[in-house]
Amino acid sequence: MTILIGLIIAGASLIGGFAALGGKVSVLWQPWELLIILGVAVGAFVVANPMKVIKGTVVAVSDALRNAVPNKREYLDVLALLYGLMRELRAKGRNQVEPHIEDPNTSPIFQKYPSVLRNANLTTFICDYFRLIIVGNARAHEIEALVDEELHTIHRDQMKPFHAMSSTADALPAIGIIAAVLGVIKAMGAIDQSPQLLGSLIGAALVGTFVGIFFSYSLFGPLASKIRMVRESRLRTYIVVKQTLLAFMNGADPQIALEHGRKTISDIDRPTIDEVENETMSAGAAGADNVQDLQGAA
């Protein structure tokens, strides 16, 4: 929504200001200049990036347009899920927690938090490190080093669409000049025509430079920044998991371990202690019900 509002403000200011100066707005409509600029930009983008990055950029643009960042509800789900797993591990031991880790899609604990299950990468991340905790041979500092390395890799992969879009934005002014040069070449071919026709051809050529700069700094550049903001916000949930599990491995009670994770959330989206407590109480009640179900089945 903010992207749309920003584009409306920018476009209205641009066209309105140009018209107020006495310019003819119709002169700005040069479809062939647009075809050259956008076609060359897309072609260069395809040349510079593998197909996986191209598809990832399409997804990243969609996420940016929807502002698909984690909200307070999603953070609460992550914290409550972690609490449920830590509580099960602390109270019942490894054998009863392992089924939840091996098949999270059928786990009653995971099923209670579909927002986490929908994020397959985050679910795998949680299960992998709980599995290491269950094994019991790794020390906390070893787990921390491993998590940091994986987070670095995840961050690098998640930023590939941002870098691809930024490179395209940086290239657009030069691509606009290419379109302008082609327009000037066309104008020079009509040098023997009337000054009115020659002026319109030169004006159309200059539109190419304008469009390239406008697209670079008013569309593609801001969109790349939005992609980076969304991707970095979504990586915050991994930091929450990391800090919570490290505190738990160092001997903190599950409720205290959650505080280590909660403190890494930005103030805007950070749930209060009371909200986390209410969620964890629900997770605890669900855990008790699961124990009774397991006992009954036995």
Contact 188, 202 (CB under 8 A): no
* Phi–psi pair at 193, nearest 5 degrees: -85, 180
Which one, of 233, 236, 227, lies nearest residue 59 by Cα? 227
* pLDDT for the residue numbered 10: 86
* pLDDT for the residue numbered 126: 93
The percent of residues above 70 in pLDDT, for the chain, comes to 93
Contact 212, 179 (CB under 8 A): yes
Residue with tokens 């691809």: 164
For 17-37, the pLDDT digits (tens) are 888 888 788 888 888 888 999
The one-letter amino acid code at 236 reads: R
The mean predicted confidence, pLDDT, of the chain is 87
* pLDDT for the residue numbered 40: 94
Residue with tokens 């209205």: 12
* pLDDT for the residue numbered 288: 45
Contact 172, 222 (CB under 8 A): no
pLDDT beyond 50 at 139: yes
CA–CA dist 208, 179 (Å, integer):
5
- Whole-model pTM: value is 0.83
Which one, of 35, 67, 33, lies nearest residue 233 by Cα? 67
pLDDT beyond 80 at 255: yes
pLDDT beyond 50 at 295: no
* pLDDT for the residue numbered 284: 52
Token pair belonging to 44: 């260069």
Mean pLDDT score, 283-298: 45
pLDDT beyond 50 at 5: yes
* Confidence at 293, pLDDT banded by 50, 70, 90: very low
* pLDDT for the residue numbered 14: 83
Token pair belonging to 123: 């679910």
Q: Is 93 left (phi over 0), alpha (psi -120 to 50) or beta?
A: left
* Other CB atoms within 10 A of residue 119 CB: 18
Burial tier of 46 (Cβ tally within 10 Å: 0-12, 13-18, 19+): exposed
pLDDT beyond 50 at 224: yes
Mean pLDDT score, 145-156: 93
Mean pLDDT score, 50-74: 93
* pLDDT for the residue numbered 283: 56
